[in-house]
């Protein structure tokens, strides 16, 4: 049975518009090996509605599994290995 991945939380709620996508992409790239091996899961917390499309689409194109949920009044985007 595989271990539960460590969640790496990136809280970028309220930040200026392009910060969300750029920061998320940087974190995905920085943790590429960990995500692919199933050891790390990136969790992005954002209030930016556009990011609920741009980040998942970019991450899916990279071959990751993505889920988006509303958590209280912001969005929680989880990016992990397929």
Partner 1 sequence: MDFTQKTILAMLIIGGLAGWVMHRSDFCLTGMVRDVFLTRSYLMLRVLFLYVILSALSFEVMRRLGVSIQAFGPPGLAHLLGGVGFGLGMTLSGNCVFGSVYRFGSGEVTGATTILGLVFGSLIFFEFATPISGALKRIALFKAATIPELFEVDPLYIILPLVFVGALLISSWARAGKLSMKSFISSFLQPWKAALVIAFLGTLSILTFGIPLSISTLYSKAATQLEALILPQHIINNAYFTKGIAIELPFQAGKITIDNGPALDTLSAAQGSLFIGIFFGAFISAKVAGDYEINFRIPPRHYLLAFVGGAIMALSARIAEGCNVWHILGGLPYLSTSSLLFLFGLFTGSYLGSRILQRAIITTPGSAE
The DSSP symbol for 39 reads S
**Which residue in the set 32, 37, 57, 63 belongs to the binding site for partner 1 (CB under 8 A)?**
57
**Which residue in the set 36, 62, 68, 76 belongs to the binding site for partner 1 (CB under 8 A)?**
68
**What gap in Å lies between CA 8 and CA 4, rounded to an integer?**
12
Residue 64 sits in the site that holds partner 1 (CB under 8 A): no
Residue 32 sits in the site that holds partner 1 (CB under 8 A): no
Residue 6 sits in the site that holds partner 1 (CB under 8 A): yes
**Which residue in the set 36, 38, 54, 81 belongs to the binding site for partner 1 (CB under 8 A)?**
54
Quick check: helix, strand or coil at residue 50?
coil
Q: Is 81 left (phi over 0), alpha (psi -120 to 50) or beta?
A: beta
User: Could you tell me if 18 and 58 are in contact, meaning their C-beta atoms sit under 8 angstroms apart?
Assistant: no
Residues that bind partner 1 (CB under 8 A): 6-19, 21-23, 26-27, 42, 47-50, 52-54, 56-58, 60, 66, 68, 70, 72-75
């Amino acid at each position: 049975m595989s271990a539960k991945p460590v969640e790496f939380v990136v809280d970028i709620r309220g930040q200026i518009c392009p910060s969300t996508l750029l920061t998320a992409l940087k974190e995905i790239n920085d943790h590429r090996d960990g995500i692919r091996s199933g050891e790390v899961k990136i969790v992005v917390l954002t209030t930016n509605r556009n990011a609920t499309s741009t980040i998942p689409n970019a991450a899916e194109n990279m071959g990751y599994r993505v889920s988006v949920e509303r958590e209280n009044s912001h969005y929680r985007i989880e990016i992990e290995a397929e």
